[in-house]
Amino acid sequence: MLFLSVDVGGRRLFGSDRLIRVMDRLGAEEGEVITHSMVTRAIEKAQKRVETQNFGIRKHLLEYDDVMNKQREVIYGRRKKALLGEMTRDDIREMARDFILAQVELFAPEKGGIEDWDLESLDNVLLRTLMIDISSHEDELGTLRREEVIDYLTDQAMKLYDYKIEKVDERLKTHLRDFETWIML
């Protein structure tokens, strides 16, 4: 035996107030057992809708979980390399490029040219985080495609990184590597 309520949530699943009107016409009383093919079909349709909706929710959740798992693998892979002292200049370049790519995507739409970009905001973020000042390079950036801008900014970040590493006293370079590892963790 199955008990169903066609109030509030049930109305949405069973086709609004239509089922209630039919039940009233049939003279059904509250609590009465109803055996009618229309009710059976309405229940079957509602069950299919619920199952379809639940399937969609589960599918979306699995897709989200897959993305999160991939991100976890990347992060833990980087952390492991840092712990084992295997972090290379290429790893640092990749992280800088990922950051720059995220900022360019945020402030520089793919459609249109550099005149459509929010260069002031992009400059502020890059200056604050990577100490790259793009305000004096706007003319040069204007001649590049979006992907070339990302490569150019990554090159600038790595030149600055190499310059900073070069200026560090040899005795402190070990501590600098320890600091980089600490940041990665």
Please provide the average confidence, as pLDDT, over all residues in the chain: 82
> What does the pLDDT look like over 162-173, one tens digit per residue?
898 888 777 777
* C-alpha dihedral, 172 to 83 to 80 to 61, nearest 10°: -90
Identify the pLDDT of residue 14: 56
Identify the pLDDT of residue 125: 95
Q: Note the Cα 162 to chain centre separation in Å.
A: 31
**CB neighbour class for 126 (10 Å; exposed up to 12, middle 13-18, buried from 19):** buried
Q: Is 35 helix (H, G, I), strand (E, B) or coil?
A: coil
On whether the CB atoms of residues 157 and 130 are closer than 8 A, the answer is yes
Identify the pLDDT of residue 135: 84
| Straight-line distance from the first to the last Cα atom of the chain, in angstroms, rounded to the nearest whole number | 58
Identify the pLDDT of residue 10: 54
**pLDDT grade, residue 109 (50/70/90)?**
confident
Residue 128 has pLDDT above 80, yes or no: yes
Identify the pLDDT of residue 43: 77
Q: Which residue has the higher pLDDT, 59 or 140?
A: 59
Residue 20 has pLDDT above 80, yes or no: no
Q: Which residues contact 103 (CB under 8 A, 6 or more apart)?
A: 122, 125, 126
- Taking residues 112-116, what's their average pLDDT? 78
DSSP letter for 135, please.
Answer: G
- Taking residues 39-56, what's their average pLDDT? 85
Please name each of the domains of the chain with its CATH number.
Answer: 1-84 (no CATH), 87-184 (1.10.1200)
Residue 9 has pLDDT above 60, yes or no: no
**Cα–Cα dist 40/45, whole Å:** 9
Q: Which residue has the higher pLDDT, 170 or 117?
A: 117
